[in-house]
Amino acid sequence: MNKKQRKRNEIIEKTIYIIYRQGYQGTGIQELADAAGIPKGSFYNYFESKEEYAIQALHFYHQFLQDHLLAVLKNTSKSPKERVKIFFFGNIQRMEGFHYQMGCLAGNFSGEMGDLNDRIAATADEILTAVVRDIAHCLAEETSLIRDNQQMAEFLVNSFQGAMLRMKSSRDSRPLDVFTAMMHQLLEL
């Protein structure tokens, strides 16, 4: 990673929670620059535009998912069904830590910008598609599941995205609890 990319990542790390809380349209470049501790003009040395910042933030988020949450799907010391459950439980623990307010960055961008910005929508969709692929690949190792692993992974990710959306408005665990109960039932069939 070159020096410019390291600085980009540092800026994103310092500012990503602003985008989480306020959304893309509710956050200005000056606010991002202030949070990063750089002049507004310097922001453009690292990102061509706010749109480019959002895309880079999504890639940064995806790398976090791969390093910290999706890695559990490759841990062959547990059964595939257990790995999938652990993945979602890890996400739920993160939501609890944020008092049920943050959700998934890719899901947030999908909801806010999906109809408004093709590049941001495509990047968010790529990330969610990669998560589905990783879960489907894990489920494919489970011989007791005779259903379509791709569809099961799609359903779980889509349901979890919906539960997180509801969680943000209710600000409690109820939507996640329902997701968890249904996930258990689906994976035990």
Provide the whole-model pTM.
Answer: 0.92
Token pair belonging to 44: 């453009």
Q: Tell me which residue has tokens 């379509």.
A: 148
With beta carbons less than 8 A apart as the criterion, state whether 172 and 185 touch: no
Dist. CA 169–CA 67, nearest whole Å: 28
Q: Rounded to 5 degrees, what are φ and ψ at 149? A: -65, -35
Give pLDDT, residue 145.
66
74 Cβ contact partners less than 8 Å away, ≥ 6 residues apart = 83, 138
Dist. CA 171–CA 9, nearest whole Å: 29
- Taking all residues of the chain, what is their mean pLDDT, rounded to a whole number? 93
Give pLDDT, residue 146.
61
Per-residue pLDDT tens over the stretch 126-160: 999 999 999 999 999 987 766 789 999 999 999 99
49 Cβ contact partners less than 8 Å away, ≥ 6 residues apart = none
| Maximum Cα–Cα distance across the chain | 57
CA dihedral of residues 96, 142, 162, 15 (deg, nearest 10): 50
Token pair belonging to 175: 């939507």
Choose between 188 and 41: higher pLDDT: 41
| Percent of the chain predicted with pLDDT > 90 | 85
Q: What are the C-alpha distances in Å from 59 to residues 86, 164, 179?
A: 23, 20, 26
Confidence of residue 189 (pLDDT cuts 50, 70, 90): low
Per-residue pLDDT tens over the stretch 6-48: 999 999 999 999 998 899 999 999 999 999 999 999 999 999 9
| Percent of the chain predicted with pLDDT > 70 | 98
Give pLDDT, residue 68.
86
Confidence of residue 116 (pLDDT cuts 50, 70, 90): very high
- How big is the chain, counted in residues? 189
Per-residue pLDDT tens over the stretch 86-97: 999 999 998 898
Give pLDDT, residue 69.
84
Choose between 64 and 147: higher pLDDT: 64
pLDDT at 188 over 80: yes
With beta carbons less than 8 A apart as the criterion, state whether 124 and 35 touch: no
pLDDT at 169 over 80: yes
Q: Give the torsion sign (CA, 68, 52, 132, 115).
A: positive
